[in-house]
Amino acid sequence: MLNFLPGMLKGGLSFILYLLNTVILCTVLCFVALIKFIVRIPLVIRACDRGLITISTLWITFNSLNSALFNRIQWDVRGVENLDPKGWYLVVSNHQSWVDILVLQTVFNKKIPFLKFFLKKELIWVPFLGLAWWALDFPFMQRYSRKFLEKYPHLKGKDLESTRRACEKFRTTPVSVMNFVEGTRFSENKHQAQGSGFKQLLKPRAGGVAFVLGAMGHCLHKVVNVTIVYPDGVDNFWGFISGRVRHIILDVEVLPVTEEITGDYFNNTRFKQHFCAWLNDLWEDKDRKIEEILDGNRSGRSTVSGR
């Protein structure tokens, strides 16, 4: 639509719309969250929950419209046909840029439940955001360090139990929990520092994924394995809103959640080895897939169906 405008102007106008959308809808969200916090009547709480999800979905929808207004992005997406907005998912993905979050929100909006992240329990006290995260039912986890457990061994396993209790609401409420398995954004410097055996990825960190599956495996039904590729190169948020990102490829593989990946990672050595092997195999497949997509794009072949 307005993609003919100069990059600086597109970026500035787009940023203003992102800011207005966030300020207005976050203000409304926090007002509804305050009602939910004060009025502890089940009927009111359920009505607030529906309102909060509607507000969050609108925020993503307006952001996506903003992007479409100023940028002409070629979206190549596959594997999202059988997703269910009423399902229970763990979403895992490679991570290259903060743009990844906008990409995932755009692609999965209304296809799966609103994406949520596991947060440390202490973050509930963050002004403004803590209330919003609590109201949106972001799962808060309590983790004890190894040194703490050595001093208080009777608390071993209690962190997982408390997180499971915090997630009990998701037995009846569909949820999508997001995890960037590498733990940080990819860069060549980090790749070299790690001595990563993968060509396009950092080493996967098994602990976070294992914790989520251990705490919520009883209610998560599928693992959504996402591979994000930027054929023209990775860019930052400003590059995204100013029109420098022209082509985004996203491949989705849906995997079952089984007992084989929902054991006690932190206290069962045998399971830990099995889980690390499973995750490493997943990452090797992802690395090969990225190489194939990039090779196909360089040679002009279409490797992924259009969105």
pLDDT in tens, 145-188: 667 666 767 666 666 666 676 667 777 788 899 999 998 899 99
In a domain, 23, yes or no: no
Predicted confidence (pLDDT) at residue 8 exceeds the cutoff of 60: yes
In a domain, 60, yes or no: no
Domain CATH code at residue 122? 3.40.1130
Kindly state the tokens that stand for 222: 């599928």
The residue assigned the tokens 């307005």 is 2
Please name the residue ranges forming H helices in 152-232.
158-166, 188-194, 206-216
Radius of gyration of the chain from Cα atoms? 20
Mean pLDDT rounded to a whole number for the chain: 87
Whole-Å CA distances, 271 to 5, 33, 160, 231, 259: 55, 40, 16, 37, 11
pLDDT reported for residue 305:
41
| Residue 92: domain span | 73-298
In a domain, 146, yes or no: yes
Confidence of residue 265 (pLDDT cuts 50, 70, 90): confident
In a domain, 39, yes or no: no
pLDDT reported for residue 277:
96
* Cβ atoms 241, 2 nearer than 8 A: no
Average pLDDT over residues 277-292: 96
In a domain, 53, yes or no: no
How many structural domains is the chain composed of?
A: 1
Please name the residue ranges forming H helices in the chain.
7-38, 42-70, 99-108, 129-135, 146-151, 158-166, 188-194, 206-216, 237-241, 269-298
Kindly state the tokens that stand for 149: 């457990």
Beta bridge pairs of residue 247: 74
pLDDT reported for residue 192:
93
In a domain, 203, yes or no: yes
Indicate the SS3 state at residue 140.
strand
pLDDT reported for residue 302:
46
Average pLDDT over residues 29-37: 91
pLDDT reported for residue 303:
45
Lowest mean pLDDT among 5-14, 43-52, 115-124: 115-124
Whole-Å CA distances, 86 to 151, 176, 189, 236: 43, 10, 40, 32
Average pLDDT over residues 74-78: 94
Average pLDDT over residues 210-223: 86
Region of residue 201 (phi > 0: left; psi between -120 and 50: alpha; otherwise: beta): beta
* Cβ atoms 58, 25 nearer than 8 A: yes
pLDDT reported for residue 143:
65
Indicate the SS3 state at residue 92.
strand
187: CB partners within 8 A, 6+ apart: none
Predicted confidence (pLDDT) at residue 196 exceeds the cutoff of 80: yes
Lowest mean pLDDT among 2-6, 107-111, 124-128: 2-6
In a domain, 61, yes or no: no
Neighbours of 261 (CB within 10 A): 22
Indicate the SS3 state at residue 74.
strand
pLDDT reported for residue 130:
80
Whole-number Å distance between alpha carbons of 251 and 272: 28
* Cβ atoms 201, 93 nearer than 8 A: no
In a domain, 150, yes or no: yes
pLDDT reported for residue 307:
44
Average pLDDT over residues 261-279: 92
pLDDT reported for residue 101:
92
